[in-house]
A = this chain, B = another copy of it.
Amino acid sequence: MSTYAIVIHGGAGTILPAAMTNELERSYKTALQEAMDAGFSCLSAGGTSVEAVKAAVISLEDCILFNAGRGAVFAKDGSQEMDASIMDGSNRMAGAIAAVRNIRNPVELAYTVMTHSQHVMLNGKGAQEFAKIHGLKTEPDEYFYSAFRHQQWKQMQDTDETALDHSVTIPSSTATEGKKFGTVGAVAVDQYGNIAAATSTGGMTNKQWGRVGDSPIIGAGTYANNKTCAISCTGHGEPFIRAVTAYDVSCLMEYKGLSLQEAMHLVVHDKLLKIDGEGGMIGVDASGNTAMVFNSEGMYRGRRNSEGLNETLIYKL
């Protein structure tokens, strides 16, 4: 039996201890632990890496603290449009959805696209029709609503600015009312040595014009291939798309022989920084190595493996 492991993230950004209360920090860590455990239980019970990343991301989507599923940010028009993707490293099958509304678990929809359609990427109303046919769970607008996200959007609605969900300055008093950051994602390696990755997001606060970030783009926000690595990214989506970030890590491993950690370090601390790509990523390889790398102030993250490693972290070490 191989070492099995799961790594998760809840978004990267300007996360500073000064803006955080002990209580809020505890809430985040609890939420991260729960999501990680959901994925880890799956792996322990002999489940696949695909099932594990899905379980972990569903847990993060269901948590209002993160910008995915429940708690997604508001677009310019006040809607909450969500993107997600998933990839199976054992066969490089993939599923992705962009610009869906009212779907409780966008990652579940991406999974259903992968397993029940001939396609990789579905979009907008079409994706929602597909969801309906396959009985995906929906929720009313109120379910996704959080007072904090709404306030964050109201601050920006009359401007033409957009913002990463972690970069809007909020008075510290409101931090205690539920300050929330980030795109979520998970990568895992199972007992059979197969790896997988998944990512889910509400995108940028006040986003306009049907903007699609890197999260639903296979190769940019998400990638998995047993030969190399499974990667889930978070951060400023545009540079991540332009740099084809997740697949770049894979190519550096496959074609240049870099280790997972070396490849992720080069991409995040050198290549992304050169094009103002703020953010980070998590990764695993088929041997059970894990890594969590970011160039921002912090990244909500955690990892757990069958050798006893079990940690949740927020700030730089």
- Which residue numbers of A lie inside 8 Å of B, CB to CB? 87, 92-94, 98-99, 117-127, 129-130, 162, 208-213, 217-220, 223, 237-238, 241-244, 247-248, 251-252, 255-256, 275
Q: A244–B242 contact, CB under 8 A?
A: no
Q: Are B123 and A238 in contact (CB under 8 A)?
A: no
CB distance from A262 to the nearest CB of B (A): 13
12 more A-B contacts (CB under 8 A) besides A98-B98, A120-B212, A218-B242?
Answer: A92-B275, A99-B126, A120-B238, A122-B212, A123-B210, A125-B210, A126-B210, A129-B208, A130-B208, A219-B247, A255-B255, A255-B256
Expressed in whole angstroms, the minimum distance between the Cβ of A167 and any Cβ of chain B is 13
Flag if A120 contacts B242 (CB, 8 Å).
yes
Bound Cα distance from A118 to B117, whole angstroms = 33
Chain A interface main SS type: mixed
Chain B residue nearest to A76 (CB atoms) is B126
Bound: A69/B252 CA distance, A: 37
Contacts of A211 in B (CB 8 A): 119, 121-123, 126
Task: For A247, list chain B residues within 8 Å (CB).
Answer: 219, 244, 247-248, 251
Known interface pairs A219-B217, A247-B219, A255-B251; A123-B94 also in contact (CB < 8 Å) = no
A117 contacts B209, C-beta separation under 8 Å:
yes
Report the bound CA distance from A202 to B122 in whole Å: 15
Q: Note all chain B residues with C-beta closer than 8 A to A130.
A: 208-209
